[in-house]
Structure 1
Amino acid sequence: MDQRDDYDHLQKAGKRHLWMHFSRHGVYDDDHDIPVIVKGDGMYIWDSRGKRYLDALAGLFVVQVGHGRQELAEAAAKQAGELAFFPIWTFAHPMAIELAERIATYTPGDLNRVFFTSGGGEAVETAWKAAKQYFKLTGRPTKTKAISRQIAYHGTPHGALSITGIPSLKEAFEPLVPTTVHVPNTNFYRAPEHGDDVEAFGRWAADQIEEAIIAEGPDTVAAVFLEPVQNAGGCFPPPPGYFQRVREICDRHEVLLVSDEVICAFGRLGDMFGSNRYGYVPDMITCAKGLTSGYSPLGAMIASDRVMEPFLQGTNSFAHGYTFAGHPVSTAVAMANLDIFEREKLNEQVRETEGAFRGTLEKLLDLDIVGDVRGDGFFYGIELVKDKATKETFNDAESEKLLRGFLSKALFDHGLYCRADDRGDPVIQLSPPLIAEQSHFDEMEQTLRSVLTKAQSLL
Structure 2
Amino acid sequence: MTATASNPTGLDLQQAAKDHLWMHFTRMGAYRDAPVPIIERGEGSYLYDSAGKRYLDALAGLFAVQVGYGYGEEIGAAAHAQMRELPYYTNWSYAHPRSIELATKIAGLAPEGMNRVFFTSGGSESVESAWKLARQFHTANGERRWKAIGRDVAYHGSSLGALSITGVAGIRSPFEPLVPQVSHVRNTNRFRRPAGETEEQFTQFLLDDLEQRIWSEDPSTVAMVIMEPVQNSGGAFTPPAGYFEGVRALCDEHGILLVADEVITGFGRIGDWFASNRFDIKPDIITSAKGLSSAYASIGAVIASDKVAAPFLEGTAMYTHGVTFGGHPVQAAIALKNIEIMEREQLPQKVRATEDQFRATLAQLLDLPIVGDLRGTGYFYALELVKDSETNATFSDEEAEKLLRGFLSERLYDAGIICRADDRGDPVVQISPPLVAEQQQFDEIVTILGEVLGEASRLVGH
Give the TM-score category using the shorter length.
Answer: over 0.9
The one-letter amino acid of 1:294's match is: A
Q: Which residue of 1 aligns with 2:112?
A: 109
1:354-433 to structure 2, matched below 5 A, reads: 354-433=355-434
State the Cα distance separating 1:212 from its structure 2 match: 0.6
Q: Does 1:19 align with 2:22?
A: yes
When the two chains are superposed, the root-mean-square deviation of aligned CA atoms in Å is: 1.4
TM-score, structure 1 as length reference? 0.97
Question: For residues 406-458 of structure 1, what are the alpha-carbon distances to aligned partners after superposition, in whole Å with 9 as ceiling and x for unaligned?
Answer: 00110110000110001000000000000111110000000000001111111
Note if contact 1:195-1:201 (Cα within 8 Å) is conserved in structure 2.
no
Q: Which residue of 2 aligns with 1:118?
A: 121
1:40-439 to structure 2, matched below 5 A, reads: 40-69=42-71, 70-141=73-144, 143-191=145-193, 196-439=197-440
For 2:432 and 2:363, locate their aligned partners in 1 and report how far apart those are by CA, in whole Å: 15
The one-letter amino acid of 2:118's match is: F
For 2:338 and 2:186, locate their aligned partners in 1 and report how far apart those are by CA, in whole Å: 36
For 1:208 and 1:68, locate their aligned partners in 2 and report how far apart those are by CA, in whole Å: 45
- What secondary structure is seen at the aligned counterpart in 1 of 2:342? helix
For 1:68 and 1:87, locate their aligned partners in 2 and report how far apart those are by CA, in whole Å: 30
TM-score, structure 2 as length reference? 0.97
The one-letter amino acid of 1:125's match is: E
State the Cα distance separating 1:34 from its structure 2 match: 0.7
Percent identity, please: 56
The one-letter amino acid of 2:68's match is: G
Q: Which runs of 5+ in 1 are unaligned?
A: none
State the Cα distance separating 1:390 from its structure 2 match: 1.1
The one-letter amino acid of 2:31's match is: Y
For 1:109 and 1:351, locate their aligned partners in 2 and report how far apart those are by CA, in whole Å: 20
The one-letter amino acid of 1:136's match is: T
The one-letter amino acid of 2:427's match is: P
For 1:288 and 1:139, locate their aligned partners in 2 and report how far apart those are by CA, in whole Å: 31
State the Cα distance separating 1:8 from its structure 2 match: 8.2
Note if contact 1:194-1:200 (Cα within 8 Å) is conserved in structure 2.
no
- What secondary structure is seen at the aligned counterpart in 2 of 1:148? strand
Note if contact 1:371-1:388 (Cα within 8 Å) is conserved in structure 2.
yes
Note if contact 1:287-1:300 (Cα within 8 Å) is conserved in structure 2.
yes
Shift of the 3–371 alpha-carbon distance from structure 1 to 2, 3 Å rule, reads farther
- What secondary structure is seen at the aligned counterpart in 2 of 1:19? coil
Note if contact 1:73-1:295 (Cα within 8 Å) is conserved in structure 2.
no
For 1:59 and 1:151, locate their aligned partners in 2 and report how far apart those are by CA, in whole Å: 21
For 1:161 and 1:207, locate their aligned partners in 2 and report how far apart those are by CA, in whole Å: 25
State the Cα distance separating 1:211 from its structure 2 match: 1.1
- What secondary structure is seen at the aligned counterpart in 2 of 1:188? coil
State the Cα distance separating 1:3 from its structure 2 match: 7.4
For 1:321 and 1:276, locate their aligned partners in 2 and report how far apart those are by CA, in whole Å: 28
- What secondary structure is seen at the aligned counterpart in 1 of 2:126? helix
State the Cα distance separating 1:347 from its structure 2 match: 0.9
For 1:284 and 1:350, locate their aligned partners in 2 and report how far apart those are by CA, in whole Å: 24
The one-letter amino acid of 1:440's match is: Q
The one-letter amino acid of 2:285's match is: M
Note if contact 1:147-1:225 (Cα within 8 Å) is conserved in structure 2.
yes
For 1:439 and 1:156, locate their aligned partners in 2 and report how far apart those are by CA, in whole Å: 35
- What secondary structure is seen at the aligned counterpart in 2 of 1:351? helix
For 1:207 and 1:72, locate their aligned partners in 2 and report how far apart those are by CA, in whole Å: 47
Note if contact 1:118-1:299 (Cα within 8 Å) is conserved in structure 2.
yes
The one-letter amino acid of 2:381's match is: Y
For 1:283 and 1:210, locate their aligned partners in 2 and report how far apart those are by CA, in whole Å: 19
For 2:293 and 2:15, locate their aligned partners in 1 and report how far apart those are by CA, in whole Å: 32
For 2:10 and 2:353, locate their aligned partners in 1 and report how far apart those are by CA, in whole Å: 42
Q: Does 1:34 align with 2:36?
A: yes
State the Cα distance separating 1:386 from its structure 2 match: 0.2
The one-letter amino acid of 2:347's match is: L
Question: For residues 209-262 of structure 1, what are the alpha-carbon distances to aligned partners after superposition, in whole Å with 9 as ceiling and x for unaligned?
Answer: 111111111111010000000000010001111100100010001100000000
- What secondary structure is seen at the aligned counterpart in 2 of 1:441? helix
The one-letter amino acid of 1:391's match is: N
Note if contact 1:188-1:195 (Cα within 8 Å) is conserved in structure 2.
no
- What secondary structure is seen at the aligned counterpart in 1 of 2:115? strand
State the Cα distance separating 1:312 from its structure 2 match: 1.7
- Once structures 1 and 2 are overlaid, which stretch shifts more, 314-323 or 161-170? 314-323
State the Cα distance separating 1:19 from its structure 2 match: 0.7
For 1:109 and 1:220, locate their aligned partners in 2 and report how far apart those are by CA, in whole Å: 28
Shift of the 194–97 alpha-carbon distance from structure 1 to 2, 3 Å rule, reads farther
The one-letter amino acid of 2:388's match is: D
Note if contact 1:119-1:297 (Cα within 8 Å) is conserved in structure 2.
yes
Shift of the 334–87 alpha-carbon distance from structure 1 to 2, 3 Å rule, reads same
The one-letter amino acid of 2:245's match is: Q
- What secondary structure is seen at the aligned counterpart in 1 of 2:191? helix
Note if contact 1:99-1:331 (Cα within 8 Å) is conserved in structure 2.
yes
Shift of the 281–11 alpha-carbon distance from structure 1 to 2, 3 Å rule, reads same
Shift of the 86–423 alpha-carbon distance from structure 1 to 2, 3 Å rule, reads same
For 1:275 and 1:212, locate their aligned partners in 2 and report how far apart those are by CA, in whole Å: 23
The one-letter amino acid of 1:184's match is: R
For 1:8 and 1:196, locate their aligned partners in 2 and report how far apart those are by CA, in whole Å: 60
